[in-house]
Amino acid sequence: MENNSTAKHYLAVDLGAESGRLILGTLVDGRWSMEEIQRMPNGPITGPDGTLTWDLKGIFDGVLKGLVKVAAKNVAVRSIACDAWGVDYALLDGSGEVLDPVHHYRDARCPKGAESLLKRVSWEEIFAATGLQYMPINTLFQLETEPEERLKQSSVFLTIGDLFNYWLCGVGKIDISSASTTQMFDPRTLKWADSLIERAGFPRAIFPEVVPCGTRLGTLQPELAAQTGLSPELQVLATCSHDTGAAVAATPVEPGANWAYLSSGTWSLMGVERSQSIINDTCRELNFTNELGLENSVRLLKNIIGLWIVQELKREWDAEGRPLSYSELVDLAESAEPFRSLINPNDPRFVSPGDMSHRIVEYCRETSQPAPETPGQFVRCALESLALLYRVTIQQLEQLTESPIDRLHIFGGGCQNRALNQWTANATGIPVYAGPVEATALGNMMTQAIALGDLESWEAGRASIGRSFPVDIYRPQEFDLWKEQAEKFAQFLNQK
């Protein structure tokens, strides 16, 4: 039962593809407040051979610096938990040390792994065993590229958020939300898909125990307590360690609403929350995925490339000496010509970093469209195309669930993009509820509060978030115009 008279403090290590943050959250009188303590830049590191990897130790050093700052505040922190992006992983050797490198999901090895494994195991068999959509970046395909010698040296496989939990407390287990994203886990039995792992030829012994969201793993390692000044009794929890699982858990939905969600950031993840997985031919053909979250809820969703295209355009212009903030880019997009050109954001050419403007121009020329020329035109092209892809995805969700959707909740950093929010409402024809921005960190900390008995239920946790942060509502406009553009956009989706 929640104690409304006493402030409770929690720490969230929230790791994203562009940056990581250490956030201090406080719950008092049924309301949340948050303070960013430390921010750690993140991104792919390119090796001499072109391999893309992560500097996870560097990020963890930033976390430790943040923990020192927390200790200086002299507040009684109840617990800490880590969440991160999915599909990537670390392999630990027999002494518990990470085997370098830790590869980035955009590394060129991923498609090779998919091609190799699918020669031995059919896609139909893989989907039937795991219920996950096809993406060459999936953990299953990444592991396929691992040299046999490296797998032999490995003692434990950990996903990224669970690796950080391991570094904090010394206990290596995987939260069910992250396990369910690996394409090696059965969302029906709630166990590793042993038959698939065996057929893939991976050593079963490296896959650790899978635990429910909110499991207490242990306490802060003594040497870290001494280093940071925090209590060695600080609880380390496996929250929803997959960031989308945490964000969906925090969605401030109204009971009884037929809602869908969109986690809007580098990736867009659009789906619905269900009590049971949907694993059938239609789900496979539409390429949806069944992931697990708080209380073993199912996130039936599709991964879409998201704001990655805009982020890459911004990086390109910054490097050329034309720095523009995201707010400025939105302003330029709103003033640019509508529907000058459209792209299929899921075209494979847009997945890798670098030369994004050239790739968009190339796509437009191949499809007989005028190519964007100005930053505003490029960004408008990307955002309008994303909104139209969201429309298609909503329609597919309604087909798959046989249930209409009457509102879309958008959270994450992308929910601050007013142009994309409005164009998404226009394209889908349903109202968009934008916020909260920090849904992932909030879901992380809400799960901690429920696990420790400071919130009585998930419903109470969502209500506390709804009371604490504003939500902006965008109503559909110009739906007939967007319907016409959707017909034009449809021709791009099946082009090879």
Q: Which residues are catalytic?
A: 243
Cα separation of 72 and 83, whole Å?
24
Cα separation of 263 and 139, whole Å?
20
Q: Is 184 helix (H, G, I), strand (E, B) or coil?
A: coil
Q: From residue 15, how far is each of 44, 60, 120, 225 by CA, in Å?
A: 13, 10, 34, 21
The token pair that represents 492 in the structure block:
């791009």
CB-facing half-sphere around the CA of 55: CA atoms within 13 A = 16
Cα separation of 270 and 438, whole Å?
17
Dihedral Cα 453, 454, 457, 458, nearest 10 deg = -120
Closest CA to 425 of 403, 400, 406: 406
* Crossing angle of helices 375-401 and 418-428, rounded to 10°: 40
Find the angle CA(448)-CA(247)-CA(54) to the nearest 5 degrees: 95
Closest CA to 246 of 33, 105, 456, 450: 450
Cα separation of 263 and 85, whole Å?
12
> Which residues, in sequence order, are bridge partners of residue 25?
10, 34
Dihedral Cα 75, 80, 83, 84, nearest 10 deg = 70
CB-facing half-sphere around the CA of 356: CA atoms within 13 A = 24
Cα separation of 180 and 145, whole Å?
20
Most distant CA pair in the chain: distance in Å? 64
What kind and span of H or E run contains 206? Answer: none
Cα 271 off chain centre by: 12
DSSP, residue by residue, 392-444: HHHHHHHHHHT----EEEEESGGGG-HHHHHHHHHHHSS-EEE--TTHHHHHH
Cα separation of 409 and 272, whole Å?
10
Q: Any idea which residue has 């199912």 for tokens?
A: 298
Instruction: State the sign of the Cα–Cα–Cα–Cα dihedral 315, 316, 318, 324.
Output: negative
The token pair that represents 32 in the structure block:
């949340």
DSSP structure class, residue 295:
G
Q: Strand 432-434 and strand 472-474: pairing?
A: antiparallel
